[in-house]
Amino acid sequence: MTLEYQQQTIEVRDRFDKLKARDITLQVQSLGKTFSTNGNTVNALTDVSFDVHRREFMTIIGPSGCGKSTLVRILAGLEFATSGQVLLNGDRVTGPGPDTGMVFQTYTLFPWLTVKKNVMFGLRNRGISESMALQEAMQWIDLVGLERFANHYPHQLSGGMKQRVAIARALAAKPRILLMDEPFGALDAQTRAKMQSYLLEIWRNIDITIVFITHDLDEAIFLADRILVLKANPGEVQELIEVPVPRPRLAGQMLETPFISTRQHIGQLIHSPSSEDDGLSEVIRMTPVGDEVEPQW
């Protein structure tokens, strides 16, 4: 029996067939991570395995504390797995480097550099001359629509602009994969929606594989080819979902069946009793009886 969200139109199936025929960029093999801080051990990830194909857009979703950040930091080489391994184009990831670009949730633009110099940073690391780097950087800045702000310092930009610069900076370094840890988490809903369309547009136009973390269901579905759903305690893969929504993605699709059924399914996965172990107790009433304007329930 196939559930509703698993029903794909021929176009969508065709897309997935083509996608899966592509090389595998990222291979995650039974990754495990335990933190031990003064006697306490936290099992953050257990036996996480999945593949990401070249030019695929994968989102990772899961309840808070299920190890999403830990996972992406391991993928970036910023943290080391206790077991298992990560292969990028067949090579084992042993540390951070220009092959794995990263956009963080917190703003990590270099405050002492202008937008232009921030974007040039990775290019200069690759040994490209100042003038060539500048030229290339300006193209990336154009791509994220910030040419008027090339000489601004980060503190003069809004949050959305900062993240666009961060994306331009990461992409300019020519990574094989772009890792994004809730990059739009701090933005308001409107800006966030714009940034999502923006990101898809950039992704469509350049050769980049993206792994994107979010805790927002709509964002996860709107962006992804496939969604990796994690569950908490310990962080484990719950399901790898192929999103049945055709591309290009438009806001209107959020009201259509493929989107809604996927949303419902993931909603159930994430809010199933097993993962709702957040220890919240019922709210105690502190208002006088009879002070309500709505009928009693």
Ligand X SMILES: Nc1ncnc2c1ncn2[C@@H]1O[C@H](COP(=O)(O)OP(=O)(O)OP(=O)(O)O)[C@@H](O)[C@H]1O
Residues that bind ligand X (CB under 6 A): 35, 37, 42, 44, 62, 64-70, 215
Q: What is the phi/psi pair of residue 248, to 5°?
A: -70, 150
In whole angstroms, give the CA distance from residue 286 to residue 282: 12
Q: Which is nearer to Mg ion, 29 or 69 (CB)?
A: 69
Site of interaction with another protein (CB under 8 A): 76-78, 95-98, 100-102, 104, 106, 108, 110-113, 121-122, 125-126, 143, 145, 149, 153-155, 158, 160-161, 164, 169-170, 173, 175, 188, 190-191, 194, 197-198, 201-202, 205
DSSP states of 183-198:
TTTTS-HHHHHHHHHH
For residue 220, give the 3-state DSSP assignment: helix
Shortest Cβ 236–ligand X spacing (Å): 12
Alpha-carbon gap, residue 16 to 243, rounded angstroms? 10
Pick between residue 63 and residue 101 the one whose CB is nearest to another protein: 101
Comparison of 66 and 141: residue with beta carbon closer to Mg ion = 66
Q: Between 6 and 151, whose beta carbon lies closer to another protein?
A: 151
Query: Distance between CA 219 and CA 196 in Å, rounded?
Result: 8
Q: Name the residue nearer to another protein (CB basis): 32 or 101.
A: 101
Q: Are 149 and 161 in contact (CB under 8 A)?
A: yes
Min dist CB 77 to ligand X, Å, is 16
Nearer to another protein, 60 or 168 (CB): 168
DSSP string, 102-137: EE-SS--S-TTS-HHHHHHHHHHHTT--HHHHHHHH
The amino acid that residue 277 corresponds to is: D
Q: What residue 267 binds from ligand X, another protein, Mg ion, none (CB within 5 to 8 A, per partner kind)?
A: none
With tokens 């399914």, the residue in question is 265
Q: What, of another protein, ligand X, Mg ion, none, does residue 205 touch, CB below 5 to 8 Å by kind?
A: another protein
Least separation, in Å, of the C-beta of 35 and another protein? 16
Least Å distance between CB 290 and another protein?
A: 34
Select from 207, 138, 134 the least CA-distant residue to 174: 207
* Closest separation in Å from C-beta 110 to ligand X: 24
Q: How far apart are CA 165 and CA 152, in angstroms?
A: 11
Using the rule CB under 5 A, is 69 a contact of Mg ion?
yes
Residue 193, SS3 per DSSP: helix
Calpha distance 92→87 (Å, rounded): 4
> 41 forms bridges with which residues in the sheet?
36
Q: Which is nearer to ligand X, 26 or 137 (CB)?
A: 26
Q: How many residues bind Mg ion (CB under 5 A)?
A: 1
Residue 282 Cβ, how far from ligand X at the closest point, in Å?
23
Q: How far is the CB of 122 from another protein (least distance, A)?
A: 4
Residue 38 is given by DSSP the state T
Residues forming contacts to Mg ion in the complex (CB under 5 A) are 69
